[in-house]
Amino acid sequence: MPNNNTKKIFKGLIARTKIYLIVIAVLLVLISILNIGYFIPAIFVYIAVLVYTYWSDQKRETELSEHIQDLTFHVDKAAKNTMINSPFPLVIVETDGNIVWKSSKFSQEFANIDIKNILKDLVKQIKLEIENNPENPEKDIQKEVEIGEKIYQIFGKYTKAKEKYMLTLYFLDNTEHIEIEQNYQDSQICVGVIMIDNFEEVNQRIEDEDKPVVKAKIEKSIYDWAATFEGLVVKAERDTFVCIFEQRYLAELEEGKFRILDTIKELELSDKIQITLSIAVSNEGESNYEKYKSAQAGLDIALGRGGDQAVVRCDGKYTFFGGRAQEVEKLTKVKARSVSHALEELISEADKVMVMGHTNGDMDSMGASMGIYRLARTLEKEVYVVYNETGVNLQAFVETAKEELEYVESIINKAEALSKITPETLLVVVDTHKVNYVEVPELLEETHKVVIIDHHRKSVDYIEDAILTFHEVYASSASELVTEILEYATKEIELTSIEAESLYAGIMMDTKNFTFKTGVRTFEAAAYLRKCGVDIIKVKKWFQSDLKTYNKISKIVEKAEMIEENIAISTYDEADKDANLICAKAADELLTISDITASFVMGQIGDKICISGRSIGDINVQVILEKLGGGGHITLAGAQVEGMTIEEVKQELIIRINEYFSEISS
């Protein structure tokens, strides 16, 4: 058995040497077996080889250790010299803000700056990160801090030493890089499309000799405005201009709230004509052509919101400016005629037709639905009206309609609609254009054939890829638009009495008995429906409130508070599934009181707070409620808010009203 000294010797040998010794031992044993006389000399030879091998290995280890120590010394020295003479400001600091060590570059860089307070704030932030992440205390630090007139990218690490955290921070001057990046962003192209909203009407109303002067005034105003931000303006069509400018001026235009909108309206023209513009600007797109297409899409939204406004599409968001003028009624019915014929073709090609309005449907959405229903039936198509909820809004009407067997089978709920719809079904959406506001949103995913008929100001969450859109914000109601479609149908449409009455009721509801937002075409549509045999008394009964509801409305009116001297705000505190209808009626009632030019009433429907806004036209309730996710018209708008109490919504509404007045006064 080998002794301990021999074991130590063998352990001290490197692995490759051990293999050599084993080979030598085997050879010596073989030689001794062949000749026993070599046994003793072989032992001495092997001992000598073993001693020499051990000595040489120990010597090699000593030399290697000395070399490593020497190398470590030089590396440490180089590292220390690098830290001391670092080209970047370097500091070692404790979490209490105490500076342990700083490089000469750090002292030079921040010689004229009170860096201690800045470091304390920075260290305080990092300390919070340490406390919030105790499981991973040693992690990289990366922050951007503005110090003096420069911006620094800070890199570093914090480690724990003797119950204290030490931070090693490098300061990299990133100012030039950020300036280059900002200059690059500022130099990117923005594309704008400018359209004269009422060009055709202006062109018809002014005298021929005045036309060149009027057009020259308009164009000069646009060109002068573009010159203030070095924009290039090209006239694309008689009423359309394309504007190209650098992005650095976009913030300036937004701050000025696109003052060209007011400049154009202030032009002195004959016949008391007021001209308005719609503007859409976009910086989204890889190419200038994509930016132009994006701006065109924005222009559609501006026009769909009534014109007289600017829309900016930036970073996936829309920002609106202006939009305080009343919508101008179009006197020509060419579009109504073309839409009517196109809709007939689409109905004829579809396997069946479904019509739906918005959630918490009202007489306008139901009246428009019934009108489209009769058009499809006249064209001998299978057609259904989707109505998923029955509240006091339509209870009286639905009960009357279902006295006839035809409507019992044709007015269906959500489950029935989803079971009947196919990819070839034509889905007609009336009285709304918003994806999340339709009666059954799931139906939009089941067919690619969607038609939209709406009169509300266009919102950014509109239904995309509709194959036909009849969106006219000047119209009083969706029922008015559907009535015009029926008037211009190629086949004679024979409305039943209840269908004509529902259309008439829809117009009455949205115009508040032909008081608000009523134009020449509104009365023409009403006259057409009267010829179809409308029973005014029956329609009036659909809008009657019972005594209990009337008392609720009276209490809401009684507790109203005044804001800005002429705006009434009130709340309906009961949890009621028909709160939206009661709030709407209360808002209408408040508007009948002298000195009140706008009213807002809030109520609770389930986990949502509904808001009804009304105005006589001096205040744009649509702009105010749009800030709360709603929409509508200048004189009539609504919104639904989730995740807030009715009192919180009230305070938020007051803030938005104050913002509105700040914007129009600036």
Cα distance between residue 366 and residue 369, in whole Å: 5
| Claim to verify: residue 589 and residue 523 sit in the same structural domain | no
Residue 130 pLDDT class (50, 70, 90 cuts) = low
Q: Which residues constitute the domain of residue 152?
A: 90-178
| Claim to verify: residue 378 and residue 466 sit in the same structural domain | yes
Q: pLDDT over 90 for what percent of the chain?
A: 28
CATH number at residue 300: 3.30.70.270
* 451, containing H or E segment: strand 450-454
| Claim to verify: residue 561 and residue 654 sit in the same structural domain | yes
Q: pLDDT over 70 for what percent of the chain?
A: 88
Given CA atoms 294, 296, 297, 299 in this order, what sign does their dihedral have?
Answer: positive
What is the per-residue pLDDT for 392? 54
Q: Could you tell me the two tokens for 392?
A: 């006091």
Is residue 328 situated within a structural domain? no
Is residue 329 situated within a structural domain? no
Q: Could you tell me the two tokens for 274?
A: 């007021």
Largest CA distance in the chain: 141
Coil, helix or strand at residue 640 = strand
| Claim to verify: residue 482 and residue 563 sit in the same structural domain | no
CATH number at residue 100: 3.30.450.20
| Claim to verify: residue 45 and residue 111 sit in the same structural domain | no
For 153, 388, 501, the CA distances from 249, given in Å and listed in that order, are: 28, 49, 54
Rg of the chain in Å (alpha carbons): 40
For 38, 81, 108, 109, the CA distances from 86, given in Å and listed in that order, are: 70, 8, 12, 12
| Claim to verify: residue 95 and residue 72 sit in the same structural domain | no
Q: From the centroid of its chain, how far is CA 35? A: 98
CB 505 within 8 A of CB 361: no
Contacts of 511 (CB under 8 A, 6+ apart): 476, 477, 517, 518, 522
| Claim to verify: residue 379 and residue 515 sit in the same structural domain | yes
CB 358 within 8 A of CB 500: no
Instruction: Flag whether pLDDT at 446 surpasses 60.
Output: yes
| Claim to verify: residue 302 and residue 349 sit in the same structural domain | no
Quote the pTM value: 0.61
What is the per-residue pLDDT for 7? 47
- Tokens 């809004």 locate to 393
| Claim to verify: residue 474 and residue 574 sit in the same structural domain | no
Q: What is the pLDDT of residues 371-426, one digit of tens each?
A: 999 999 999 999 999 987 655 567 778 888 888 888 888 998 899 999 999 999 99
Instruction: Flag whether pLDDT at 8 surpasses 60.
Output: no
**Mean pLDDT across the chain:** 82
Cα distance between residue 320 and residue 303, in whole Å: 12
The number of residues making up the chain comes to 666
What is the per-residue pLDDT for 599? 94
Closest by Cα among 195, 388, 199 to 300: 195
Q: What is the pLDDT of residues 543-579, one digit of tens each?
A: 777 788 889 899 999 999 998 888 999 999 888 777 8
Long-range residue pairs from 641-644, CB within 8 A, at least 24 positions apart, any chain: 641/608, 641/609, 641/611, 642/607, 642/608, 642/609, 644/609
Q: Choose the final residue of a domain: 41, 60, 81.
A: 81
Residue 666 pLDDT class (50, 70, 90 cuts) = low
Is residue 183 situated within a structural domain? no
Task: Render the burial of 508-540: b for 16+ CB within 10 Å, e for the rest.
Answer: bbbbbeeebbbbebbeebbebbeebebeeebbe
CATH number at residue 564: 3.10.310.30
Instruction: Flag whether pLDDT at 3 surpasses 60.
Output: no
Is residue 184 situated within a structural domain? no
Sequential DSSP letters for 464-520: PS-SEEEE-TTSS-HHHHHHHHHHT-SSPP---HHHHHHHHHHHHHHHTTTTSS--H
| Claim to verify: residue 315 and residue 344 sit in the same structural domain | no
Long-range residue pairs from 625-631, CB within 8 A, at least 24 positions apart, any chain: 625/656, 626/320, 626/459, 627/656, 627/659, 628/652, 628/653, 628/656, 631/434, 631/456, 631/457, 631/459
Is residue 216 situated within a structural domain? yes
Residue 166 pLDDT class (50, 70, 90 cuts) = confident
First to last CA, the chain: 103
Which neighbouring-strand residues pair with 452?
429, 469
Q: Could you tell me the two tokens for 91?
A: 């500091």
Query: Could you tell me which residue, 665 or 500, shows the higher pLDDT?
Result: 500
Give the highest mean pLDDT range of 34-48, 459-473, 642-656.
Answer: 642-656
Q: What is the pLDDT of residues 30-43, one digit of tens each?
A: 777 777 777 777 77
CB 553 within 8 A of CB 545: yes
What is the per-residue pLDDT for 425? 93
- Lateral strand order in the sheet of 636-642: 561-563, 567-575, 598-605, 608-615, 636-642, 631-632
| Claim to verify: residue 349 and residue 484 sit in the same structural domain | yes
Is residue 64 situated within a structural domain? yes
> How many structural domains does the chain have?
5
Is residue 591 situated within a structural domain? yes
Q: Choose the final residue of a domain: 301, 322, 343.
A: 322
Q: What is the pLDDT of residues 297-338, one digit of tens each?
A: 888 878 777 778 898 988 777 888 876 655 555 555 677 888
Q: Could you tell me the two tokens for 80?
A: 């220390």
Residue 192 pLDDT class (50, 70, 90 cuts) = very high
Instruction: Flag whether pLDDT at 12 surpasses 50.
Output: no
Strand-pair category, 608-615 with 411-412: unpaired
Residue 80 pLDDT class (50, 70, 90 cuts) = low
What is the per-residue pLDDT for 152? 86
180-188: average pLDDT: 88
**Residues 652/655/661/666 CA torsion (nearest 10 deg):** -130
Is residue 327 situated within a structural domain? no
Q: Choose the final residue of a domain: 36, 52, 81.
A: 81
Strand-pair category, 608-615 with 567-575: unpaired
Q: What is the pLDDT of residues 241-283, one digit of tens each?
A: 999 999 999 988 988 889 898 888 888 766 667 788 999 999 9
CATH number at residue 487: 3.90.1640.10
Query: Could you tell me which residue, 209 or 290, shows the higher pLDDT?
Result: 290
* 410, containing H or E segment: helix 405-410
What is the per-residue pLDDT for 563? 86
Coil, helix or strand at residue 458 = coil
| Claim to verify: residue 537 and residue 552 sit in the same structural domain | no
